[in-house]
Structure 1
């Protein structure tokens, strides 16, 4: 006998109801509901505006690690963790079993075949070459010169003018322009002069921001959804496609200029070094140079600008720390040569990077099944997500004062900077993929921070709300609105 349509529909509704209740009861009660078809996507979307803190709450409630089933649209399991033991295992102990993987490179396709996307021999070859070029004394001297000149001739005059006019400024915008100009100099050998009183619109910089936001949405949405949107150029995928065009045009123009300049006198920048090097010339097609420079621009501009912004935000909220940093940077020049003796400033920067890492999460794939240090099994096809942002907020990792801004935690009893293992302090990644630009970043951070602090007092605009932006890079959603005031002359 056929089941009447109404009864059949009622049966389906009952089935779904009990299925949902069953899934809720059988899963960890701390985790969001794993809905049929959509998985945990509804909970993620509901908390998208506070995604990093939402993840931190889940990780804190589940002991730093949990596993989630993806939606029926993705059929992917996610192993999510901020456990240092798991991080050490993946990034160090068994590095080769956890590649970036094809899903990652497709998601970050705008980076092409550059070092961030590469695995295996392609990655090893690119890393060897980049490391060789970046440790050269000539390039190190060029980094120091570019930073100093841009700060002295661009940043300080701009802040003086803003201070004299008594107007409010978005300090995050200022720092992103600063690091954009410096990074363009380091990578291409040209200064786009985006850091100027007119605050000109920089299409390339905006395109990079749009691309990173779109890629974060790819990380959240089921692959089938964003790939469908990409095919029909909808929503964020249209924005990404438009950004891609702007990025390629900017990079190609600068590659052409660099090649023309190289014929006459060469240059100290990375692109000139790649073109000049005979070993790289074989592979230095415009596609290779494009991918290399886009990866370097992302690594240098966005991350350092973000780090400076959060550092000054924390100083605004912690006058005790600001006073101690100021006291140190005001010492005679001979005692702080090249920033090597700026121990407290270095410690404060590390503490800022701990709380607000420029790259708030990392991801890997699994090559072969194995048991993780935390006890869970991972299998091929699983995606592993590491929340660097959450790790700083775990009492079990950094102590009961983990939420406090305490540079002192980075200074030993002997008065030197304390070393913390990279799998605990992941601001510069960890293991074989440790960031090659770490020293370049600290040179920029120290040069800019010391110069600004010595001359200006930065005060946040009353009522201004600072919160992380939902993007691949941890920028501030509303910027950093401040007043900049000249410090009184020291008598």
Structure 2
């Protein structure tokens, strides 16, 4: 059986490569989307892999928002790809129990372990209820505010000051945000600051490993199942990179867990109460102490999986949001001017450099609109995946069979005229502001960046707060200038980052 699988995989790859060579002459605008004999529709996707998000957006828009995808024969690589809001509402809310992550999803996202993003049914409910309880605590919001405030004041502002003093120095703003959010999420979850964000830009092995794991997971979605399973078995290519990356990052997580258990044991022996100031209690400490109170014992694997899932939720999504936001603001001077005008009107009396607190950033309506626009056009998680349990008929009229894969293209949704109108490609914060100057809230099945239905992101409000605190501080103090010729291309990963980073020059703002 293994030999048959290998032969099929080799044949599929060989024939696909031949067709890719033929399709080199085809344009991205070519309307034809052919179901080839034996190899299905895979060649078109592989041909446009480097530009897969734009290709998918144009394809889905030309097909009314929903297509049926058929992969190579014997690969079981088939499903439905959609941007239809009614399909989203049906799958994520109305028929929630019929659409799950499924076993294949868990296999493809194995580095996530048994966490909130990969589980279904009672395991998912357990993880969600636990995190929901924590996130609702005022102390958790206080912890996040304190950590972000401290990191901006002691690391981000000094680094940006250093950069702007080196006249003409070009830096990768995405790398800066990557380091900033990695330090923050480590502090919030693990109670450990690796100090990635410093003037000498140190290379942090675990941070690089985490990025590689995400890229390898995306790769699994671009080739037939038998191909990446074969690579995993042989430990070659992306699967070898995945294995090595997970070893490095797991070693980092387990070391942090062991250190935290040791620290708490010592404090317990000294009769020290770690709850004297709840705003200083990181999530890992909370999970360990809660299990001790209940007389339970969550093993290190549970803590590791919880941490890994929250790293994805609270680190890369923020990096992506900040990077695309600053790119859009820097390339739209009128929007930048309005953001600065709003800040000056409400907080111009504060001395520089300053950092707004949680309550203050909630008053920045125009900045909120700019963030929503950035999330609409460049959603941090560009696609969402589900699997059907029983047969069904979607509102779009497409028939779904048991175990059918459903892919939502969030990137394409943000570029759909049917959803956002003829100006869908424009960056318009005003889209999110009412005539009375309040915030306009779009339904989650239309604005899908924070998921929808029972799986709506628990950290949505915390994410907006963090992005506003960072964005307001930087924009008020510095001018961000995108370097001419900087190639802005989405990366091929499960998180929508910039493939070549965001190269900028930074100047001191004289507001």
Partner of 2:203 in structure 1?
201
Q: Name the counterpart of 2:453.
A: 431
The number of equivalent residue pairs is 463
Residue 67 of structure 1: SS of its match in structure 2?
Answer: strand
Give the SS at the match of 1:190.
Answer: coil
Provide the C-alpha distance between the structure 2 equivalents of 1:239 and 1:280, rounded to a whole number of angstroms.
40
Matching residue of 1:309: 323
- The corresponding residue for 1:86 is 87
Query: Which secondary structure state, in structure 2, belongs to the residue aligned with residue 225 of structure 1?
Result: helix
1:282 is matched with 296
- Does structure 1 residue 375 correspond to structure 2 residue 377? no
**Residue in 2 that maps onto 1:104:** 105
CA drift at 1:330: 2.5
2: distance between equivalents of 1:137 and 1:75? 47
1:212 corresponds in structure 2 to 214
Q: How far off is 1:437 after superposition?
A: 1.2
**Which stretch shifts more, 187-196 or 66-75?**
66-75
Are 1:185 and 2:199 counterparts? Answer: no
CA contact (8 A) 2:77 2:225 kept: no
Give SS of 1:415's match: coil
> 1:243-284, CA deviations, whole angstroms, 9 ceiling, x for partnerless residues?
010111010011112212223154511111111113776251
Aligned to 1:394: 416
2:229 matched residue in structure 1: 227
Matches for 1:53-72 after TM superposition, within 5 Å: 53-72=54-73
Asked if structure 2 preserves the Cα contact closer than 8 Å seen for 1:84 and 1:423, the reply is yes
Partner of 1:486: 508
- Pick the aligned partner of 1:171 from 147, 170, 173: 173
Q: TM-score, normalised by structure 2?
A: 0.88
Structure 1 stretches of at least 4 aligned residues deviating more than 4 Å after TM superposition: 334-337
Which of 459, 463, 469 is the matching residue for 2:491? 469
Secondary structure in 2 aligned to 1:277?
A: helix
In the alignment, what sits opposite 1:351? 373
Task: Please tell me whether residue 273 in structure 1 is matched to residue 275 in structure 2.
Answer: no
For residues 147-200 of structure 1, the C-alpha deviation after alignment (integer angstroms, 9 at most, x for no partner) is 111111111110000000121000000011111111111100111100001111
User: Which stretch of structure 1 is more off in the superposition, 154-163 or 204-213?
Assistant: 204-213
Q: What is the CA distance between 1:438 and its match in structure 2?
A: 1.1
Conserved in 2, the CA contact under 8 Å of 1:358 and 1:474? yes
Equivalents in 2 of 1:343, 1:442: separation in Å? Answer: 11
**Alpha carbons 2:42, 2:70 under 8 Å: kept:** no
Asked if 1 retains the 8 angstrom alpha-carbon contact of 2:173 and 2:323, the reply is yes
Kept in 2, the 8 Å contact 1:354–1:425? The answer is yes
Distance 1:145 1:84 in 2: 38
- Calculate the TM-score normalised by the size of structure 1: 0.92
Matched, 1:162 2:163: yes
Q: For residue 365 of structure 1, what is the aligned residue in structure 2?
A: 387
| Cα offsets for 1:295-352 (capped at 9, x unmatched) | 1111111110110000000011100000101111223449974312111111110111
Q: Distance in 2 between matches of 1:314 and 1:283?
A: 47
How well do the aligned residues superpose, as a CA RMSD in angstroms? 1.7
C-alpha deviation, 1:479, in angstroms: 0.3
SS of the aligned residue for 2:494 comes to coil
Secondary structure of the structure 1 residue equivalent to 2:480: strand
Distance apart, 1:44 and its partner CA:
1.4
- 2:248 is aligned to 246
Q: Which residue in the other structure is 2:314 paired with?
A: 300
Unaligned 5+ segments in structure 2 are: 1-14, 20-29, 275-279, 351-355
Aligned partner of residue 331 in structure 1, secondary structure: helix
